[in-house]
Amino acid sequence: MSDNPDFVAISKAYGIHAELMGVDAVAGLEVPASTAKSLARFLQSPEPELLVFECPKEANVYPMVPAGAALSEMVLRKSKN
């Protein structure tokens, strides 16, 4: 969504370490080394942490829950319309 707040800035205002990670739409299942390093540090930290992942709209990230829908209405793949 383009109108999300700056979650990194909000976290830092509360004294929580936060990091913004970009997700490449064509990266497939391979995790870039920089992302893997951040994830490892995040998982080992005894302090609160926030990792924000930005995915391009074209990535068609699934599964997803449509706005206003229940979790039981999760979309698992793009329809063939």
Give the pLDDT confidence of 35-68 residue by residue, as tens digits.
788 888 888 999 999 988 877 766 666 677 888 8
Residue 24 domain-assigned (yes or no): yes
Residue 79 domain-assigned (yes or no): no
Determine the structural domain holding residue 21 and report its residue range.
Answer: 7-73
Residue 2 domain-assigned (yes or no): no
Share of the chain above pLDDT 70, in %: 74
Residue 56 domain-assigned (yes or no): yes
- pLDDT over 70 at 27, yes or no: no
Q: Name the pTM for this structure.
A: 0.57
Closest CA to 21 of 4, 37, 5, 2: 37
Total count of domains within the chain: 1
Q: How distant is the alpha carbon of residue 47 from its chain centre? A: 20
Residue 80 domain-assigned (yes or no): no
